[in-house]
C-alpha cells in the first residue's frame, strides 16, 4: 500500500495519492499532502480558506463541492483556485482537504 | 486444464471490491431495483457469463475471435507492451486470447473437439472471471491502436469492450466503473451533478463572461427552443473546470450563433462505452437526442471530449436504436466553420508558445476528425508542431477506456505512460492540445509522473485566447 | 505410374477437396448465424471505399505501422503465401496439365518459389519457438500447422518434376500430405483466409462509414517521420 510518512506516522494513500481513510484527516495531513502531492512548501491563509471550506462541506454532505461553491465561499475567482492548487480543484484542492478520489473521468 | 502462469504485472490479482455494489443494493437505488444497473452476486456467474457470451456475440466480433493467426504483429502497436517488452501478457493478442479461448471452447467447434490443441479454455468460477476483469479493464485502454495494426483485421479493441460488457452484466467490474455507471444511471450524468448545480454554474459562467466582455449581451441560454445549436458538455466541466463553458459561450456569442444548452440530456459523455454496457450507452445517448428533439434544435454540438464524441456521434444512435435525424458534430468542427466563414476572427500571435496536438483515440481511430483540429490550431497558434506518430497512429494518453476512474490500475497505467511521455518530450512543445477532457487528465498524469515541462490545453482555450473582439457595437449579426 | 498413385492424385484429392468444400460451407453458414447491427448514423465517409481499402490491406504494406516498420516480416509473408499458392497449383497441374511441368524452366521456377517458402517456414518456426511472446500465445495447432506446411513444401520441391518413373515416393508424399492437409485445414488456423474477407470487410465498412478509412488525403504519409523505419 502506498503511503506518506509524517513525523514517524504513516498515512495511507491510494495509488493516486488520495487518503485511504478520509476520516483520519488533520491539518498536519493537509500540509503533508500539499507538499507531497502538489509541491506546495507551505499553505497560506488563502489555501486554508479553500481547504477548510472543502473539508467542512465534505464532512457535512459526504460529497465534494462543485468548484463554484468553492469560489462562492472563499470569494476567489476561478483562476485563483488554479493558481493556488496547480492540479486544480479535484486532484489538487480536494486531495489536500483529504477527500477520497472523486468518481468519473478525472 | 492447466492454468497459465499469471501475468507479471500484478494487476491481474486485483481483488473484486464490491462494497459500493452491496451498498447500492441496500440503499435500494432505483437503477438497481429496476435491474438496469447490475450488481455482483456470488454464485453461478460462470454459467451466466457463458450464456451471455453466446447470446451477444455479433458477426464482426465472432470473426475477430476466429481470425487471429497468432502472428504477434500487433504486439508492438500497444503502449502496454512497448513499455513492458518482457511481458507477453501486455500484448493485444494475449489479452484477446483470454476471451478467445473461452469462445473457442464454448461457441466455436474446434475448441469443443480438441480444446488443448487450439488452446481453448473455460472459466472455472468467479475467480477466473475476476482475472478476466483485471485483464480487460486493467491492461487495456481499448484504444484500438492494435486494431489498425493487425494484418487480419482483428478488432481487439472491440473484443475488449465486448468482454467488459459481459462482466458489467455480472457486476464483476472495478469499483470505479460501478460507481460512475451508478451515477450516470441515477442522475443522467456521470458525476452526479444536480440540476441546481448545473444551472447555477451556467449562470456563474455567464456572469464571469459578462464581466470579461463588459456587456450584458452575452448569455448562456438553457432550454431555449428552436435554436440552431444544442450544446452538450462533459460533467467535469460543471463540477471542476467550467472555464471551457465560458470559452464556448464566448465563441458562440461572437459568432452570433443561435444556441442553447438543455436542462436535461446535457451530458454527452457516456460511461457505457467504457463499461461495455450498451443499455447504459443507449440511455445516456437517448437523453441527448431527445433533448434536441424536445427543443427542436437543428444540430447537436458536442464539447471537446473523445469518448463523448464517439458515443454521441457514432455509437449512441446504434445503441439507442435511434435513427440519426440531425447533424451531430464536435464543437471543434463548429469553430472551424466559424473561422472559415469569418464569423470570428483570431490572431495567432496571441498563442506564441509551441503547441503540439494529441489525437484522441476515440476521435481519430474510432471517429472521423483528424485534419479539422489541426486546421483550427494552425489558424490560432503561431507555432504548431506535430507529434510523432500522430493522427490515427497516435498513442493513447493512457487514460482511455475509463481507466482514469479505476485507481487500482494506476501504477501500471503510469508505468506504460512512458511511451506517451517520450513522444511528448520529443516534440519540444510547451503546450499539448487535445480535444478530449479525458485525455487532459490522462496527459496531466503522464506529465506529472514523468516531470515534463508541458501544459495541457484544449482547442477552445487556444481559440478563446486568440479571439479578436470587435469594437463594441460593431457586431452586426444577431446575438442570442 | 501405379494405380495407387493415380487414385491418390485424382479421386483422393477430389474427395478431400469435396470434404473441404463441405466443411467450409458449414463454416460459412455458422458465420452467418451471428447477427450484425445496422449503423443508424449518417455517414461521413464511404462504406464501400472503407471496406475496399481494408480488404486491400494485404497488398499495402505501407498502410499499417506494423508492416511498415517490419518490411522483412511482410516480405516473408509474401514469399510464404506465394509458395502455398505454387504448391497448391502443383497438385492441380500434375494430374490435369502435366505438359506444363515438361517445360524445365517452369519446374525450376515452381521449385524455387516453394523452396523459398520452405526457408521462410523454417525461419517462422524458429521465431515461434524462440520469441517469448509467440511462445506464450502459440497453441499446438500453431506449431503443427507450420510444421505441416514446411514438410509439405519440401515434398513439393521433390515431387514437382513429376517423374514417377524415377520413383513414386516423392509424389506419394506430396499428394498424401495434400489430402491430409485439405482435410485438416478447416479445423486449424490455416483456414484464416476464410475469415480474412469477413474481418476486413466489417472493420473497413464500419470505419469507412465514419470516414476513418481510407485515411484522408495524406494516405498515412504525413504520419511518418524520416528515419522511423530505422527505429
Ligand atoms: S496481429 Fe492480428 S492476427 Fe496477429 S496476433 Fe495480433 S490479433 Fe492476431
Ligand atoms: S486496444 Fe490499445 S491498449 Fe488495448 S491492447 Fe490494443 S493497443 Fe493495447
Ligand atoms: S482518453 Fe484520450 S487518448 Fe486516451 S483513450 Fe480516450 S480518447 Fe484515447
**Which residues in chain C are closer than 8 Å to B388, comparing Cβ atoms?**
223, 225, 228
Q: Residues of chain B whose pLDDT is less than 50?
A: 1-3, 5-6, 473-480
Contact criterion met (CB < 8 Å) for A104 and B180: yes
- Tell me the C-alpha distance between C104 and C107, whole Å: 5
**Which residues in chain B are closer than 8 Å to C144, comparing Cβ atoms?**
117
Residues recorded for chain B: 480
The alpha-carbon gap from B180 to the nearest alpha carbon of chain A, in Å, equals: 5
* Range among B1-5, B332-336, C68-72, C91-95 with highest mean pLDDT value: B332-336
Chain A with chain B: Cβ pairs closer than 8 A? 75
**pLDDT at residue A104, as a whole number:** 64
Give tens-digit pLDDT for C50-66.
Answer: 999 999 999 999 999 99
* Ligand 1 atom closest to the CA of B75, numbered from 1: 6
Our answer on whether the CB atom of B307 is closer than 6 Å to any ligand 3 atom is yes
**Is there contact between C and A if contact means ≥3 C-beta pairs under 8 Å?**
no
Give which of B324, B330, B322 is closest to B268, Cα–Cα.
B330
DSSP secondary structure, chain C, as one string: --HHHHHIIIIIHHHHHHHHHHHHHHHHHHHHHS------SPPSS-HHHHHHHHHGGGG-TTSSHHHHH-HHHHHHHHHHHHHHHHHHHHHHHHHH-GGGGGSHHHHHHHHHHHHHHHHHHHHHHHHHHH-HHHHHH--HHHHHHHHHHHHHHHHHHHHTT--GGG-SHHHHHHHHHHHHHHHHGGGSGGGHHHHHHHHHHHHHHHHHHHT-SSPPSSTTSTT--TTGGG-
pLDDT at C221 over 50: no
The alpha-carbon gap from B26 to the nearest alpha carbon of chain A, in Å, equals: 18
List the catalytic residues of A.
105
Collapse the DSSP code of C169 into the 3-class scheme (helix H, G, I; strand E, B; otherwise coil) and give the result.
helix
The domain segmentation of chain C, as residue ranges, is 3-27+64-215
Pairing label, strands B229-232, B259-260: parallel
List Cβ neighbours of B466 (8 Å cut-off, separation of 6 or more).
Answer: B346, B347, B348, B350, B351, B379, B380, B381
Cell numbers linked to B444: 496531466
| Residue pair C199/B154 in contact by the 8 Å Cβ criterion | yes
Our answer on whether the CB atom of B218 is closer than 6 Å to any ligand 1 atom is no
DSSP code at position B6: P
**pLDDT at residue B372, as a whole number:** 96
Q: Give the one of B190, B399, B410 whose C-beta lies nearest to A104's C-beta.
A: B190
| Alpha-carbon distance values, B226 to B230, B297, B387 (Å) | 9, 5, 41
| Alpha-carbon distance values, B346 to B200, B217, B312, B469 (Å) | 30, 21, 29, 9
- What is the residue with the minimal CA distance to atom 4 of ligand 1? B71
Question: Which residue in A has a C-alpha nearest to residue B411's C-alpha?
Answer: A15
**pLDDT at residue C217, as a whole number:** 58
Question: Which residue in B has a C-alpha nearest to residue A64's C-alpha?
Answer: B239
Ligand 1 midpoint to CA C195 (Å): 13
| Residue pair B181/B39 in contact by the 8 Å Cβ criterion | no
Contact criterion met (CB < 8 Å) for A103 and B402: no
| Residue pair B43/B171 in contact by the 8 Å Cβ criterion | no
Our answer on whether the CB atom of B23 is closer than 6 Å to any ligand 1 atom is no
Our answer on whether the CB atom of B397 is closer than 6 Å to any ligand 3 atom is yes
C129 — phi, psi (to 5°)?
Answer: -80, -25
**pLDDT at residue B112, as a whole number:** 78
**pLDDT at residue B476, as a whole number:** 44
Cell numbers linked to B265: 440530456
Question: Which residue in B has a C-alpha nearest to residue A92's C-alpha?
Answer: B240
| Residue pair B89/B134 in contact by the 8 Å Cβ criterion | no
Q: How many CB atoms lie within 10 A of CB C35?
A: 10
The domain segmentation of chain B, as residue ranges, is 11-173, 190-340, 344-466
> Which residue of B145, B155, B442 sits with most ligand 2 atoms within 8 Å of its CB, as the best mutation to test the pocket?
B145
Q: Which chains reach chain C with 3 or more Cβ–Cβ distances below 8 angstroms?
A: B
**pLDDT at residue A1, as a whole number:** 55
Q: Which chains reach chain A with 3 or more Cβ–Cβ distances below 8 angstroms?
A: B
Predicted TM-score (pTM) of the model is: 0.92
Our answer on whether the CB atom of B336 is closer than 6 Å to any ligand 2 atom is no
- Tell me the C-alpha distance between C58 and B205, whole Å: 53
CA quadruple B183, B188, B189, B195: dihedral sign = negative
Question: Which residue in B has a C-alpha nearest to residue C136's C-alpha?
Answer: B88
Q: Which chains reach chain B with 3 or more Cβ–Cβ distances below 8 angstroms?
A: A, C
Q: How many CB atoms lie within 10 A of CB B23?
A: 12
Our answer on whether the CB atom of B360 is closer than 6 Å to any ligand 3 atom is yes
Q: Give the one of C37, C70, C211 whose C-beta lies nearest to B318's C-beta.
A: C37
Q: Identify from B65, B152, B373 which residue to disrupt to test chain C contact, counting C C-beta atoms within 10 A and taking the largest count.
A: B152
Give which of C37, C27, C66, C30 is closest to C202, Cα–Cα.
C37
Q: Give the one of B62, B97, B313 whose C-beta lies nearest to C34's C-beta.
A: B62
**pLDDT at residue C230, as a whole number:** 34
Contact criterion met (CB < 8 Å) for B153 and C36: no
Cell numbers linked to B135: 485483464
* Ligand 2 atom closest to the CA of B77, numbered from 1: 7
Which residues on adjacent β-strands are paired with residue B455?
A: B431
**Which residues in chain C are closer than 8 Å to B79, comparing Cβ atoms?**
none
Q: Identify from A57, A68, A104 which residue to disrupt to test chain B contact, counting B C-beta atoms within 10 A and taking the largest count.
A: A104
**pLDDT at residue B371, as a whole number:** 96
CATH class of the structural domain B344-466: alpha beta
Find residues 18-77 of chain A whose CB sits inside 8 Å of chain B: 18, 64, 66-68, 71, 77
| Residue pair C210/B314 in contact by the 8 Å Cβ criterion | yes
Collapse the DSSP code of B368 into the 3-class scheme (helix H, G, I; strand E, B; otherwise coil) and give the result.
coil
B11-173 carries CATH number 1.10.1060: yes
Ligand 1 midpoint to CA B162 (Å): 18
Query: Which CATH topology does A3-96 take?
Result: Arc Repressor Mutant, subunit A (1.10.10)
**Which residues in chain B are closer than 8 Å to C67, comparing Cβ atoms?**
73, 151
Residue entry with cell 503533508 = A32
Give tens-digit pLDDT for C8-59.
Answer: 888 999 999 999 899 889 999 999 999 999 999 999 999 999 999 999 999 9
| Residue pair B135/B12 in contact by the 8 Å Cβ criterion | yes
pLDDT at A91 over 50: yes
The domain segmentation of chain A, as residue ranges, is 3-96
Which whole number is the average pLDDT over A6-21?
A: 76
Give which of C63, C187, C191, C131 is closest to B94, Cα–Cα.
C131
| Residue pair C199/B155 in contact by the 8 Å Cβ criterion | yes
- Tell me the C-alpha distance between B304 and C108, whole Å: 62
Which whole number is the average pLDDT over C119-148?
A: 96
- Tell me the C-alpha distance between C88 and A18, whole Å: 64
Contact criterion met (CB < 8 Å) for A103 and B437: no
Q: Identify from C66, C74, C214 which residue to disrupt to test chain B contact, counting B C-beta atoms within 10 A and taking the largest count.
A: C66
Query: Which CATH topology does C3-27+64-215 take?
Result: Fumarate Reductase Cytochrome B subunit (1.20.950)
Q: Identify from C30, C35, C37, C40 which residue to disrupt to test chain B contact, counting B C-beta atoms within 10 A and taking the largest count.
A: C40
Give tens-digit pLDDT for B354-374.
Answer: 999 999 999 999 999 999 999
**Which residues in chain B are closer than 8 Å to A87, comparing Cβ atoms?**
444, 448
Amino acid at each position: 500500500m502506498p503511503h506518506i510518512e509524517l513525523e514517524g506516522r504513516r498515512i495511507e494513500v491510494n495509488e493516486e495519492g488520495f487518503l485511504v481513510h478520509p476520516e483520519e484527516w488533520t491539518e498536519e495531513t493537509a500540509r503533508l499532502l500539499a507538499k507531497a502531492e502538489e509541491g506546495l512548501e507551505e499553505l497560506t491563509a488563502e489555501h486554508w480558506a479553500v481547504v477548510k471550506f472543502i473539508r467542512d462541506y465534505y464532512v457535512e454532505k459526504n460529497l465534494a463541492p462543485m468548484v463554484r461553491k468553492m469560489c462562492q465561499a472563499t470569494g476567489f475567482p476561478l483562476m485563483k483556485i488554479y493558481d493556488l492548487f496547480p492540479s486544480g480543484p479535484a486532484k489538487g484542492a480536494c486531495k489536500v482537504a483529504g477527500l477520497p478520489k472523486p468518481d468519473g473521468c478525472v | 486444464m492447466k492454468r497459465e502462469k499469471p501475468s507479471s504485472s500484478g494487476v491481474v490479482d486485483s481483488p473484486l471490491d464490491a462494497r459500493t455494489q452491496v451498498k447500492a443494493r441496500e440503499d435500494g437505488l432505483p437503477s438497481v431495483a429496476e435491474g438496469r444497473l447490475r450488481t455482483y452476486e456470488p454464485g453461478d456467474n460462470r454459467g451466466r457469463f457463458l450464456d451471455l457470451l453466446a447470446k451477444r456475440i455479433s458477426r464482426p466480433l465472432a470473426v475477430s475471435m476466429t481470425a487471429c493467426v497468432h502472428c504477434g504483429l500487433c504486439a508492438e502497436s500497444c503502449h502496454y507492451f512497448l513499455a513492458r517488452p518482457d511481458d507477453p501478457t501486455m500484448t493485444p493478442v494475449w489479452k484477446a486470447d483470454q476471451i478467445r479461448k473461452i469462445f473457442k471452447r464454448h461457441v466455436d467447434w474446434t475448441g469443443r473437439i480438441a480444446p488443448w490443441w487450439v488452446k481453448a479454455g473455460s472459466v472455472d468460477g468467479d475467480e477466473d472471471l475476476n482475472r478476466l476483469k483485471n485483464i480487460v479493464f486493467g491492461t487495456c485502454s481499448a484504444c484500438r491502436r492494435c486494431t489498425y495494426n493487425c494484418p487480419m483485421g482483428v478488432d481487439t479493441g472491440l473484443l475488449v469492450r465486448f468482454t467488459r460488457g459481459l462482466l458489467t452484466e455480472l457486476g464483476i467490474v472495478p469499483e470505479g466503473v460501478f460507481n460512475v455507471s451508478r451515477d450516470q444511471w441515477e442522475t443522467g450524468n456521470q458525476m452526479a451533478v444536480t440540476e441546481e448545480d448545473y444551472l447555477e454554474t451556467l449562470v456563474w459562467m455567464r456572469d464571469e463572461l459578462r464581466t470579461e466582455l463588459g456587456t450584458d449581451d452575452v448569455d448562456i441560454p438553457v432550454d431555449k427552443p428552436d435554436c440552431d445549436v444544442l450544446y452538450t458538455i462533459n460533467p467535469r466541466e460543471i463540477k471542476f473546470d467550467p472555464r471551457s463553458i465560458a470559452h464556448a459561450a464566448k465563441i458562440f456569442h461572437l459568432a452570433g450563433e443561435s444556441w442553447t444548452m438543455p436542462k436535461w440530456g446535457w451530458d454527452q459523455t457516456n460511461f457505457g462505452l467504457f463499461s461495455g454496457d450498451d443499455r447504459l450507452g443507449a440511455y445516456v445517448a437517448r437523453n441527448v437526442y431527445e433533448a434536441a428533439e424536445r427543443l427542436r434544435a437543428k444540430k447537436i454540438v458536442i464539447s471537446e471530449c473523445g469518448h463523448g464524441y464517439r458515443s454521441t456521434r457514432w455509437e449512441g444512435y446504434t445503441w439507442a436504436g435511434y435513427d440519426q435525424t440531425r447533424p451531430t458534430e464536435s464543437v471543434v468542427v463548429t469553430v472551424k466553420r466559424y473561422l472559415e466563414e469569418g464569423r470570428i476572427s483570431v490572431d495567432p500571435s496571441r498563442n506564441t508558445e509551441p503547441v503540439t496536438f494529441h489525437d484522441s483515440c476515440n476521435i481519430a481511430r474510432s471517429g472521423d476528425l483528424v485534419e479539422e483540429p489541426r486546421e483550427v490550431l494552425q489558424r490560432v497558434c503561431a507555432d504548431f508542431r506535430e507529434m510523432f506518430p500522430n493522427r490515427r497512429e497516435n498513442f493513447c494518453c493512457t487514460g482511455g477506456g475509463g481507466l482514469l476512474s479505476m485507481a487500482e490500475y494506476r501504477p501500471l497505467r503510469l508505468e506504460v505512460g512512458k511511451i506517451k511521455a517520450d513522444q511528448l518530450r520529443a516534440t519540444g512543445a510547451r503546450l499539448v492540445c487535445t480535444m478530449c477532457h479525458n485525455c487532459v487528465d490522462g496527459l496531466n498524469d503522464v506529465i506529472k509522473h514523468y516531470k515534463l515541462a508541458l501544459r495541457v490545453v484544449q482547442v477552445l482555450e487556444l481559440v478563446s485566447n486568440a479571439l479578436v473582439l470587435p469594437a463594441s457595437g460593431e457586431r452586426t449579426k444577431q446575438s442570442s | 505410374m501405379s494405380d495407387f498413385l493415380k487414385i491418390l492424385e485424382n479421386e483422393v484429392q477430389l474427395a478431400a477437396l469435396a470434404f473441404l468444400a463441405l466443411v467450409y460451407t458449414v463454416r460459412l453458414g455458422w458465420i452467418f448465424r451471428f447477427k450484425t447491427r445496422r449503423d443508424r448514423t449518417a455517414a461521413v465517409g464511404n462504406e464501400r471505399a472503407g471496406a475496399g481499402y481494408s480488404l486491400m490491406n494485404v497488398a499495402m504494406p505501407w498502410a499499417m505501422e506494423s508492416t511498415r516498420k517490419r518490411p522483412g516480416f511482410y516480405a516473408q509473408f509474401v514469399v510464404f503465401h506465394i509458395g502455398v499458392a505454387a504448391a497448391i497449383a502443383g497438385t492441380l497441374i500434375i494430374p490435369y496439365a502435366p505438359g506444363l511441368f515438361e517445360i524445365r524452366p517452369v519446374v525450376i521456377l515452381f521449385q524455387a518459389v516453394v523452396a523459398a517458402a520452405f526457408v521462410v517456414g523454417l525461419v517462422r518456426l524458429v521465431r515461434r519457438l524462440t520469441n517469448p511472446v509467440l511462445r506464450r500465445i502459440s497453441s499446438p495447432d500453431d506449431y503443427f500447422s507450420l510444421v505441416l506446411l514446411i514438410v509439405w513444401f519440401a515434398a513439393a520441391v521433390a515431387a514437382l518434376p513429376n517423374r514417377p518413373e524415377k520413383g513414386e515416393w516423392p509424389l506419394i508424399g506430396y499428394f498424401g500430405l495434400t489430402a491430409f492437409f485439405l482435410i485438416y485445414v478447416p479445423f486449424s488456423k490455416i483456414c484464416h483466409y476464410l475469415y480474412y474477407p469477413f474481418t476486413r470487410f466489417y472493420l473497413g465498412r464500419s470505419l469507412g462509414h465514419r470516414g476513418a478509412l481510407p485515411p484522408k488525403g495524406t494516405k498515412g504519409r504525413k504520419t511518418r517521420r524520416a528515419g522511423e523505419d530505422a527505429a
